Structure 1
Amino acid sequence: MTKVLEFESEVEFVANINDHKDCLMSQDPTQDHPEALWFNIDIPKGHNLKAGDRVRVTIEKL
């Protein structure tokens, strides 16, 4: 695999999607800071993450 991008960010919000998954969100003010990156990703329940936790996002090309 080839790493395309890796960045760290704070979880802003955890949304309850359904009985099986949640959605982690971080939506930085990209209009004011064009270099800022954000994410919105569904993950299985049981992750124990909450708003304010820091996570690392890695994108790899298979």
Structure 2
Amino acid sequence: MTKVLELESVVEFIADINDQKDCVMSQDPTQDNPNALWFNIDIPKGHPLKAGDRVRVIIEKL
């Protein structure tokens, strides 16, 4: 696998999508900054995450 990106950020918000999943979000308010990265990732319910938690997102090409 080839690592494309590793990003550490604080979870800002968790949205309730449906009975099976939530959406974990970190969105930079300065969308004009090309160096600011953010994410919206759907994950299965039952996770321990809450707003304010620090997470690491790793994207790899298989």
Normalised TM-score (structure 2): 0.91
The unaligned stretches of length 5 or more in structure 1 are none
Q: Which runs of 4+ in 1 moved over 6 A?
A: none
Normalised TM-score (structure 1): 0.91
Q: How does 1:31-42 map to 2 (within 5 A)?
A: 31-42=31-42
Query: Over the residues paired in the alignment, what is the CA RMSD in angstroms?
Result: 1.1
- CA displacement at 1:15 relative to structure 2: 0.4
Instruction: Give identity over the alignment, percent.
Output: 84
Q: Residues 7-39 of structure 1: CA distance to partner in whole angstroms, max 9, x if unpaired?
A: 100000000001110000110124353211100
2:2 alignment counterpart? 2
2:57 is the counterpart of 1:57: yes
What is the number of residues matched between the two proteins? 62
Amino acid corresponding to residue 24 of structure 1 in structure 2: V
